[in-house]
């Protein structure tokens, strides 16, 4: 007995709907197992380094980026000016320490004439007799002709007697015959020890023959 066509058509529609449902399910599985790729245009590009930022780094031979460091060593004149500023504002203990450090700067390449000038400025600012003595002796140990200029103010009648006598002895030890012209007026000084010290120093300097 032939199968009625009217019964076949509904079966075809149900079969097609089944195939469509299977296809949709398969497509959904693929979307879950394969997430969509993110376009490179969606990610913002890192900001480019500015010229100022690039200058903060230098490349070493192994291509490592390291911060550039500028030398921080102070200039010799700056060191001496800083020492004078601290000396002017310091107490006696601080001034003594600074005065002793000045002499050591000779080994850092600072000219002896600059050191002598700085010590001379300290002498002019100083009121303490022991510190004045120390400065005069530091000028002697420099063993530089420029020291004479900064020791001779110690001969002034405005200086304490102890300082004047010390200055006479330092000039004698320096051995520079130019000191005779500074010592000669002291032969008539009211203080007998100043007169005696000046006479001995003059005799010593003249006896050296140079």
Which of 182, 210, 178 has its CA nearest to residue 197?
A: 182
* Whole-structure pTM value: 0.62
Task: Give tens-digit pLDDT for 99-133.
Answer: 888 878 877 788 999 999 999 999 999 999 999 99
How big, in percent rounded to 5, are the helix, strand and coil portions of the chain?
A: 70, 5, 30
Query: What is the domain extent for residue 107?
Result: 76-207
Task: Give tens-digit pLDDT for 26-53.
Answer: 445 444 444 444 444 444 555 555 544 5
Sequence-separated (6 or more) residues with CB below 8 Å from residue 94? 86, 87
What's the number of domains the chain is made of?
1
Inside any domain, residue 119: yes
Task: Give tens-digit pLDDT for 138-163.
Answer: 999 999 999 999 999 999 999 999 99
Q: Which CATH number do you get for residue 101?
A: 1.25.10.10
Q: What is the pLDDT of residue 133?
A: 95
The answer to whether 121 and 141 have CB atoms below 8 angstroms apart is no
Inside any domain, residue 47: no
In the structure, what pLDDT confidence band is assigned to residue 192 with cuts at 50, 70 and 90? Answer: very high
């Amino acid at each position: 007995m032939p199968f009625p066509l009217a019964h076949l058509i509904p079966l075809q529609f149900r079969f097609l709907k089944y195939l469509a449902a299977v296809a949709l399910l398969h497509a959904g599985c693929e979307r879950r197992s394969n997430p969509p790729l993110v376009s490179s245009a969606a990610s913002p590009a890192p900001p480019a380094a500015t010229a100022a930022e690039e200058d903060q780094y230098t490349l070493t031979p192994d291509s490592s980026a390291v911060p550039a460091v500028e030398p921080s060593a102070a200039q010799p004149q700056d060191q001496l000016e800083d020492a004078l500023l601290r000396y002017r504002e310091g107490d006696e203990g601080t001034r003594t320490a600074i005065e002793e450090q000045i002499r050591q700067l000779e080994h850092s390449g600072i000219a002896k004439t600059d050191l002598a000038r700085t010590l001379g400025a300290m002498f002019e600012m100083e009121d303490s007799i022991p510190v004045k003595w120390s400065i005069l002796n530091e000028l002697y140990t420099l063993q530089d002709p420029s020291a004479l200029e900064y020791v001779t103010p110690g001969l002034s009648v405005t200086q304490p007697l102890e300082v004047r006598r010390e200055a006479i002895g330092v000039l004698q030890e320096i051995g520079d015959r130019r000191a005779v012209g500074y010592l000669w007026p002291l032969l008539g000084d009211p203080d007998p020890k100043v007169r005696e010290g000046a006479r001995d120093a003059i005799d010593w300097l003249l006896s050296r023959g140079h």
